[in-house]
Amino acid sequence: MAKTIVVIGALDTKGPEFAFVKEAIEDRGHEAMVINTGVVGESHFEAEITAEQVAAAGGSSLEKLREKADRGDAIAVMTDGVAAIIQALFTDGRVDGVFAMGGSAGTIIGTSAMRALPVGVPKVMVSTLAAADTGPYVGTRDVVMFPSVVDVAGVNRISARIYANAVGAIIGMVETTAPEIEEKPLIAASMFGNTTILVDRCREILDGQGYEVLVFHATGTGGRTMESLIADGFFAGSLDVTTTEWADELLGGVLSAGSERLDAAAIQGIPQVVAPGCVDMANFWARDTVPAKYDGRLFYQWNPNVTLMRTTPEENAKIGRILAEKVNAASGPAAFFLPLKGVSMLDSPGKEFWWPEANRALFDAIKGNVKPGIPVIELDNNINDVAFAEAVTAKLLKFLE
């Protein structure tokens, strides 16, 4: 059955390239719906959705953008416009996949549209930036960044092969059917190397109760992806037992998930069980990358490229207040669990990061700021103890009844 592949690009400057792509898609028996995002000149061929329509959807007009002649403003308007249009097309069932090509501007515009779509919708971006840091363009979505190798400027013996391969990739995606698997209610769980024992045991218990646990590594990207998928409505509950990314957010570590971490479960109203897992540490790369202001602090070399810094009582008190405030916003059932013998493998009696005063500051801040009605359960365990795993999963299962 023919599929509709939305093709996004500036037809005023890159018309021949997109004509090539459109023909390649249609030669395979699929529909190419082209969205023109070009502002400067006239389109090389007629697009299904014009630049005028994109500018209008972005809150302006093509005439105003040309009069103003501000490249940054034009990109912002066309970015907003194409994202709004692609969302409307998807809602109407008219998007089976998205394809885009371009340099820096084309990549910003194309991937903004792609990030507006759910995970699972095929997305291919042919970009001059695909060999660089693609995090800002991919975000938390399944965007395939395809290196253009040469500039997206005309069709030549090299670029023709690249464009054809990229078209083959998107066609392969839209033609591939996902295998049938048993659908179970999904639980989101956050994990770090220092809480792996805990989460593995929790997952075993929840699997045995008919749930499927998706684990997100708390490395910044993992936390953002977890938040995004919770916001998209994928999960029945959240076992957020590794909230370490907040330590990085506060201290300038390299694994921050941003200030919206822990928001999605509260907004969605799904049951959530929260523990301050691994907030005893902020993460940096190799030791010589740690800011000089932290000289004299307690460090642990996790591996040659990762340096862990122990958080202080003052920092833990701030983290505790933030965690409480985030969970206070919950519109569904929520509970805190506090492991009195440490929040990570390294933070346990006799280990490198064991600091009872710092933990007490953390726990007191949580208890002192959480609103009435949200239970705070203190257990005389390390976070990785079996008893702790059994307690947090039992509470989540009770919420899910």
One-letter amino acid at 253 equals G
Band (pLDDT 50/70/90 cuts) for residue 182 is confident
Given a contact cutoff of 8 angstroms between Cβ atoms, the answer to whether 5 and 31 are in contact is: yes
Enumerate the β-bridge partners of residue 214.
188
Strands (E) in 14-96, as ranges, are 31-36
Average pLDDT over residues 116-128: 97
**Alpha-carbon gap, residue 60 to 79, rounded angstroms:** 12
Domain residue spans of the chain: 4-175, 186-400
Check residue 75 and give its pLDDT: 97
- Quick one: what percent of the chain has pLDDT higher than 70? 100
Q: How far is CA 243 from CA 131, 291, 299, 379, in A?
A: 31, 22, 19, 18
Average pLDDT over the chain reads: 97
The number of angstroms, rounded, from the C-alpha of 239 to the middle of its chain's C-alpha atoms is: 17
Which tens digit of pLDDT belongs to each residue from 207-257?
Answer: 999 999 999 999 999 999 999 999 999 999 999 999 999 999 999 999 999
Q: What is the mean pLDDT of residues 58-64?
A: 97
133-137, 213-217, 222-226, 333-337, range with the lowest pLDDT: 133-137
pLDDT over threshold 90, residue 132 = no
pLDDT digits (tens, 9 = 90+) for 73-84: 999 999 999 999
Please give the pLDDT value at position 157.
95
Could you name the CATH architecture of 4-175? 3-Layer(aba) Sandwich (3.40)
CA distance 392 to 37: 50
Residue with tokens 């203190």: 378
Q: Is 175 exposed, middle or buried (0-12, 13-18, 19+ CB in 10 A)?
A: middle
pLDDT per residue over 291-312, tens digit each?
999 999 999 999 999 999 999 9
The DSSP code sequence of 307-324 is EEEEPPHHHHHHHHHHHH
Residue pair 106/152 in contact by the 8 Å Cβ criterion:
yes
Q: Which pLDDT score is estimated for 60?
A: 98
**Fold assignment, 186-400:** Rossmann fold (3.40.50)
Residue 233 neighbours by CB under 8 Å, 6+ apart: 268
Neighbour count for residue 137 (Cβ, 10 Å) = 22
Q: Same CATH topology for 4-175 and 186-400?
A: yes
C-alpha to C-alpha distance for 400 and 187, rounded to whole angstroms: 10
The tens digit of pLDDT for each residue in 7-48 reads: 999 999 999 999 999 999 999 999 999 999 999 989 999 999
Name the token pair of 392: 């947090």
Q: Dump pLDDT digits (tens) for 98-108.
A: 999 999 999 99
Average the pLDDT over 77-101 and give the result.
98
Query: Among 106, 99, 124, 91, which Cα is nearest to 32's?
Result: 99
Burial of 267 per CB tally in 10 Å (0-12, 13-18, 19+)? middle
Query: Which residues lie below 8 Å from residue 111, measured CB to CB, with a gap of 6+?
Result: 100, 125, 137, 138, 139, 143
